[in-house]
Chains A and B, each alone.
Chain A
Amino acid sequence: MRRQSPPTFIFIVSLILVFALFLGLLSGAVDIHPSKLLGLFSLSNMDMDHRILQTIRLPRVLLAALAGACLASCGAVMQGLFRNPLADPSLIGVSSGASVGASCVIFFGGASLVGSGVGLPAITIGAFIGGLMATSVVYRLATSVTGTSVSTMLLAGIAITALAGATTSLFSFFADNEMLRRISLWQMGNLDGADWPRVATLALVVVPLMLVLPREGQALNAMLLGESEARHLGVAVERLKRRLILLTALGVGVAVAVSGVVAFVGLIVPHLVRLLIGPDHRYLIPGSAILGAALLLLADTAARTLMSPAELPTGVLTALLGAPFFIGLLLQQRQKRVG
């Protein structure tokens, strides 16, 4: 495939993102004329179309875009850090840890807490703490004086994921019907709880993250050569790794907390971007962020409208797209090894 120049690529994906934003805002069960978008931010207008745009579609579109950007750029960073194209934030157990944290809050908090006003922040904090705990356990296991062992880290991630799965099954066993429904719907990955508090929570983390992560591009490029080579080039490797692990844990934890486990965005998007513009992290990270936002936005719009009036969970759609992609990558790697 012919490679694009990175600035051209970023320009094109930005156009796609803008298109996806408008498409997301204009599609739904109620037909809304595009001219209504003009008064989108007027607070005095109480007409129903405006309320739908302001309280349903805009928060949902923003939540999908922010979550997509967050997951895809964290994926790009993890893949650089692990020097492994299959590394996805969920692989080191962050998503699973966050999932357990959220399930814990739903299970032990009970219906009274979850149904009340503090339910959402509590679930968010639970998911975030779970994600961070999982990451720090994996990090402690895999890190020693000689450096970080990528394989130990991946294996520890697998162990954490298994433990998380078992814990959730155990909760499901003891939970009553209603908790069970909440836990399982939450795990399927859904953006339909989108509201302004969620958007604000996510934006509070994602916006600074988008500013910080691309700055690590040069150091990650050096890491691609190997850890000792990066050290020779003047990169403080251990500090860089620690910082990136914390940042991605933060990003993925919050994304999972507000939108459920949306699988494979962190895997597919950086791959596509690498195919199109090459592995330079200075462009790969922002490119992934923008394309990730557009992709999750389009997937979510499809999930909302394909079966209208019924809605599909967004996570199911991304997994349907992502799993074959993942298997394709595995096959490709295998052929490389054999050939």
Chain B
Amino acid sequence: MPPLVFIPKRVHRWLLFNMNSWGCLSVLLVLFSVSASAEIVIKDDVGRELVLSKPAQRVISLAPHLTEVVYAVGGGDQMVATVAWSDFPEEAKALPIIGSNNKINYEALLSYNPDLVLVWHSGNGDGIVQRLVSLGLNVFVSEPRNLNNIPATLHKIGHLIGREMEAETVAQQFQASLESIRQQYENVRTVDVYYQIWQSPLITFGGGHLVSDVLRLCGADNVFSNAGPLVPRIGVESVLAVDPEVIIIGQYTEVEAAFDGWRQWPQLRAVAQDHLYRVDPYLLHRHTPRIVQGARQLCEAIDKVR
């Protein structure tokens, strides 16, 4: 948890300046009581400190998962705009769109007069973060990489928009669900899984990706966790060489084509025993509480091999 009491630089200077004319202790006491009720200080995922004088009421999210998180903690009414692909929950589709992940219309963004902009570091890029900061906006940078980051994001965003209680509830539910899945697959045999996100060329997720974390939760092992890049391109031969027990297709489209592609290799254990499954990438590829549903789907599919 971030400190509830924090003396911002501006106030700190004023404090030093007035040190002679006021009694030190009384000033501190007054300040503490004021800042405790008004100031919100959050350290974001890239270590920047964000100070808000009051909970944000006009929020713009620049990533689908951040839009989802705001709605999840009950802040949907505080959203004023978002970017393309922010399609969950249903209400989010009615929000005005001010760009896509890497192209933001800054004029449109400013016209909504946001008091908080939520940014996804690896999705939006550093350039956008710098630009927003230079425009004098309150920017929160999110960079989730594993399942534990999701409740942390819920807490931080909940705090920033004045929804601490709701965030706490959602985070607890999320952690409880995760824990129940974890316990279910704690003592099972580890299964070698190949998770495909595109077939031409073959693209999978590396070990540092959120999905690899979900696979571990299911008692499975991503066969390409050591492949290097976060989202590596691989060859058919590499899959034949590791011979996974289960093939999971997490593609948005052309799922049948992906299945047919692998059925040409009956030498693979997964193909011979027909352990080819599809999962919903909308649930699994976003860093939101909904990933629990995706994780259940994935774990149940993998469990069929045991």
Nearest B residue (CB) for A313: B233
* A112-B180 Cα distance, complex, nearest whole Å: 41
Instruction: Classify the secondary structure of B's interface with A.
Output: loop
Asked if B22 is at the interface (CB within 8 A of a chain A CB), the reply is no
Evaluate contact between A309 and B234: CB separation under 8 angstroms. Answer: yes
Stretch at the interface among B5-13, B36-44, B155-163, B223-231: B223-231
Q: Which residues of A from 274 to 306 have beta carbons under 8 Å from B?
A: 304
* A57-B237 Cα distance, complex, nearest whole Å: 9
B229 to chain A, nearest CB (A): 6
* A311-B237 Cα distance, complex, nearest whole Å: 11
> Which of chain A's residues have a CB closer than 8 A to the CB of B240?
29-30, 48, 52
Q: How many residues of B contact A (CB 8 A)?
A: 25
Evaluate contact between A193 and B235: CB separation under 8 angstroms. Answer: no
Evaluate contact between B254 and A308: CB separation under 8 angstroms. Answer: no
Asked if B236 is at the interface (CB within 8 A of a chain A CB), the reply is yes
Evaluate contact between A193 and B253: CB separation under 8 angstroms. Answer: no
B248 to chain A, nearest CB (A): 17
> Which of chain A's residues have a CB closer than 8 A to the CB of B254?
111, 115
Asked if A28 is at the interface (CB within 8 A of a chain B CB), the reply is yes
Evaluate contact between B253 and A29: CB separation under 8 angstroms. Answer: no
> Which of chain B's residues have a CB closer than 8 A to the CB of A307?
227-228, 232
* A48-B268 Cα distance, complex, nearest whole Å: 9
Nearest A residue (CB) for B256: A115
Asked if B267 is at the interface (CB within 8 A of a chain A CB), the reply is yes
> Which of chain B's residues have a CB closer than 8 A to the CB of A48?
240, 265, 267
Asked if B187 is at the interface (CB within 8 A of a chain A CB), the reply is no
* A189-B201 Cα distance, complex, nearest whole Å: 12
Evaluate contact between B228 and A28: CB separation under 8 angstroms. Answer: no
Evaluate contact between B201 and A192: CB separation under 8 angstroms. Answer: yes
Q: What are the interface flags for A33-71 relative to B under an 8 Å C-beta threshold, 1 for contact and 0 otherwise? A: 000000000000000100110011100000000000000
> Which of chain B's residues have a CB closer than 8 A to the CB of A311?
201, 232-235, 238
Evaluate contact between B201 and A111: CB separation under 8 angstroms. Answer: no
Asked if B25 is at the interface (CB within 8 A of a chain A CB), the reply is no
Nearest B residue (CB) for A185: B201
> Which of chain B's residues have a CB closer than 8 A to the CB of A177?
252
* A254-B200 Cα distance, complex, nearest whole Å: 20
Asked if B188 is at the interface (CB within 8 A of a chain A CB), the reply is no
Q: What are the interface flags for A93-125 relative to B under an 8 Å C-beta threshold, 1 for contact and 0 otherwise? A: 000000000000000000100010000000000
> Which of chain A's residues have a CB closer than 8 A to the CB of B264?
55
Instruction: Given A311-B201, A311-B233, decide whether A30 and B241 contact each other with a Cβ distance below 8 A.
Output: yes
Evaluate contact between A310 and B227: CB separation under 8 angstroms. Answer: yes
Evaluate contact between B253 and A111: CB separation under 8 angstroms. Answer: yes
- Count of A-B residue pairs with CB < 8 Å: 68
Evaluate contact between B235 and A178: CB separation under 8 angstroms. Answer: no
Evaluate contact between B232 and A310: CB separation under 8 angstroms. Answer: yes
Evaluate contact between B252 and A178: CB separation under 8 angstroms. Answer: yes
> Which of chain B's residues have a CB closer than 8 A to the CB of A192?
201, 233, 235
> Which of chain A's residues have a CB closer than 8 A to the CB of B135?
none
Asked if B29 is at the interface (CB within 8 A of a chain A CB), the reply is no
* A307-B235 Cα distance, complex, nearest whole Å: 11
* A55-B264 Cα distance, complex, nearest whole Å: 10
Asked if B198 is at the interface (CB within 8 A of a chain A CB), the reply is yes
Evaluate contact between B235 and A29: CB separation under 8 angstroms. Answer: yes
* A312-B103 Cα distance, complex, nearest whole Å: 27
Instruction: Given A178-B252, A309-B232, A309-B242, decide whether A56 and B237 contact each other with a Cβ distance below 8 A.
Output: yes
Asked if A181 is at the interface (CB within 8 A of a chain B CB), the reply is yes
B261 to chain A, nearest CB (A): 11
> Which of chain B's residues have a CB closer than 8 A to the CB of A57?
237
Q: What are the interface flags for A177-193 relative to B under an 8 Å C-beta threshold, 1 for contact and 0 otherwise? A: 11001000100001011
> Which of chain B's residues have a CB closer than 8 A to the CB of A193?
200-201
Asked if B257 is at the interface (CB within 8 A of a chain A CB), the reply is yes
A61 to chain B, nearest CB (A): 13
Evaluate contact between B235 and A56: CB separation under 8 angstroms. Answer: yes
> Which of chain B's residues have a CB closer than 8 A to the CB of A309?
224, 227, 232, 234-235, 238, 241-242
Evaluate contact between B257 and A115: CB separation under 8 angstroms. Answer: yes
Evaluate contact between B237 and A28: CB separation under 8 angstroms. Answer: yes
* A58-B180 Cα distance, complex, nearest whole Å: 49
> Which of chain A's residues have a CB closer than 8 A to the CB of B236?
56
Evaluate contact between A29 and B267: CB separation under 8 angstroms. Answer: no
* A307-B240 Cα distance, complex, nearest whole Å: 17
B288 to chain A, nearest CB (A): 18
A141 to chain B, nearest CB (A): 34
> Which of chain A's residues have a CB closer than 8 A to the CB of B235?
28-29, 56, 192, 304, 309, 311
Q: Contacting B237 at CB < 8 Å: which of A52, A178, A312?
A: A52
> Which of chain A's residues have a CB closer than 8 A to the CB of B233?
192, 310-313
* A308-B229 Cα distance, complex, nearest whole Å: 11
> Which of chain B's residues have a CB closer than 8 A to the CB of A304?
235
Interface centre among B227, B238, B242, B252 (most CB of A within 10 A): B238
A160 to chain B, nearest CB (A): 26
* A308-B224 Cα distance, complex, nearest whole Å: 10
Pull 14 A–B residue pairs with CB atoms less than 8 Å apart, ordered by A.
Answer: A28-B237, A29-B240, A30-B240, A30-B241, A48-B265, A57-B237, A173-B103, A192-B235, A193-B201, A309-B227, A310-B232, A310-B233, A310-B234, A312-B233
Among all A-B residue pairs, the 4 with the closest Cβ atoms:
A309-B238, A310-B232, A29-B241, A29-B238
Q: A115-B254, A309-B234, A310-B228 are in contact. List 17 more A-B contacts (CB 8 A).
A: A28-B237, A29-B235, A29-B237, A29-B240, A30-B240, A30-B241, A48-B265, A52-B237, A173-B103, A178-B252, A309-B235, A309-B238, A310-B232, A310-B238, A311-B234, A311-B235, A311-B238
